[in-house]
Structure 1
Amino acid sequence: MQSEIVDTPAGDARITWHLPKKATASKKTVVGLVLAVSHGAGGGIEARDLQALAATLPALGVTVALVEQPWRVAGKKLAPAPKTLDTGWRALWPALARPGLPVVAGGRSAGARVACRTARELGAHAVLALSFPLHPPGRPSRSRADELLAAGVPTLVVQGGNDPFGKPAEFPEDAFAGGGNELLEVPYADHSFAVPKRATLTQDEALTLLTDGVGKWIRSQSAR
């Protein structure tokens, strides 16, 4: 694990690199690829899904870059406006692309929105949208589906079955009707991929479902 500070117009950001590991005989490696994922507006890279991906994907040959936006590095509690988030992400991109590998832009919640908004202009290979906030809780009429569809590259949405920001069934059907977009549901999970004790799968099983699904999808993206 290696960390670096990157200067951006929005302040200093930080990238924590989780480098590929030597695969075991039971693991099928993928062609070199960088998965760059940022956090949401209510937390940092300690989120359970980001940490699970960083712990498992390097064994598949994937370089995982966990990105902390400037507001988090500065110790602030509230995220800035989307335009400022996009500015920070754009300025980070050269560092993310420096290894010379295709970059999958990703993030959870607000970070997923940033990845979708900037994917086409930055030349992202694909987008991983974790807990995409389809709408504010209780306000389904304020859909952000257009933002998701505008990514312009193959996109995997990983969504909790009980996410108040948008359950899997609430996403428009045409979002996954061709164009390389896919939806992976984590049953019972909320916006942070936490599952209740009454669920028929454990928290560890839910995270394994998530990491296995993302790993399978990344293999398919490395082949194109």
Structure 2
Amino acid sequence: MTHTTQETVETEAGPARITWHTAGKARLVLAAGHGAGGGIEARDLQALARVLPGHGVTVALVEQPWRVAGKKVAPAPKTLDTGWRGLWPALTRPGPPVIAGGRSAGARVACRTAAELGAHAVLALSFPLHPPGRPEKSRAEELLGAGVPTLVVQGGNDPFGRPDEFPDGPYELVEVPYGDHGFAVPKRAPIGQDEAVTVITDAVVKWTGSLG
């Protein structure tokens, strides 16, 4: 049975919000931040919040201060990192090791701060390897520098970086066939939307189960 609660946390970037989906006997906490263009209503974040608590992983969906304040545009990466750092004590408070995670811009934050904050691992959903159409502006260093076990879940048609564009490195990568940056699949695709989301949740359940 999942228990859901919300809390507001003061950070140097302003008040942030955590929505806890608490597992009965949690052995891990997955803290997951949203992207620059949306909030925690994203299909992948909501699916993980539904599924993981049944596998002993509490899911903490994190809303950055700019979202809580009702702003439409994300601030600079440095400010996102400040907000995430300010939340970390609340995320570690329950006790189990914390996986730093997020989608898109949230994945970048998790990668940039993982080693510094002592994250147990990193989950990078739709990691924006480069701006669309600008492969020369690579952000691979952020991913490669995470310094902890890392799982990347990437849509096969993500304009911010298809799976075959990713460099070799110390991380696992799972492809969501036909998925775009939001893991939406075209109607003509041979897999349906529910199947695509199941690829994500199955991969994360398996990976979290393998973490010591």
Instruction: Please confirm whether the aligned pair reaches a TM-score higher than 0.5, indicating the same fold.
Output: yes
Q: Deviations over 1:126-155 (max 9, x none)?
A: 000000000000000111101100100010
Q: Deviations over 1:78-134 (max 9, x none)?
A: 000000000000010000000111000000000000000000000000000000000
Alpha-carbon distance between aligned partners in 2 of 1:154 and 1:140, rounded to the nearest angstrom? 25
Give the SS at the match of 2:29: strand
Superposed counterparts of 1:10-49, under 5 Å: 10-21=13-24, 32-49=27-44
In structure 1, what is the equivalent of residue 112 of structure 2? 117
In structure 2, what is the equivalent of residue 198 of structure 1? 188
The yes-or-no answer on 1:168 pairing with 2:163 is yes
Alpha-carbon distance between aligned partners in 1 of 2:24 and 2:131, rounded to the nearest angstrom? 39
In structure 2, what is the equivalent of residue 6 of structure 1? 9
TM-score normalised over the length of structure 1: 0.92
Give the SS at the match of 1:152: coil
Alpha-carbon distance between aligned partners in 2 of 1:218 and 1:184, rounded to the nearest angstrom? 14
Pairs aligned (count): 209
Give the SS at the match of 1:156: strand
TM-score normalised over the length of structure 2: 0.97
Give the SS at the match of 2:58: strand
Amino acid of the residue matched to residue 128 of structure 1? L
**Aligned CA-pair RMSD:** 0.9
The yes-or-no answer on 1:139 pairing with 2:134 is yes
Superposed counterparts of 1:18-97, under 5 Å: 18-21=21-24, 32-97=27-92
**Structure 2: gaps of 5 or more residues:** none
Alpha-carbon distance between aligned partners in 2 of 1:209 and 1:129, rounded to the nearest angstrom? 15
Cα distance, 1:21 vs structure 2: 4.4
Equivalent of 2:143, from 128, 134, 148? 148
CA contact (8 A) 1:11 1:70 kept: yes
Cα distance, 1:17 vs structure 2: 0.2
Give the SS at the match of 1:128: strand
Alpha-carbon distance between aligned partners in 2 of 1:98 and 1:78, rounded to the nearest angstrom? 30
**Structure 1: gaps of 5 or more residues:** 23-30
In structure 2, what is the equivalent of residue 26 of structure 1? none
Identity over aligned residues, as a percent? 77
CA contact (8 A) 1:12 1:73 kept: yes
In structure 1, what is the equivalent of residue 154 of structure 2? 159
Give the SS at the match of 1:194: coil
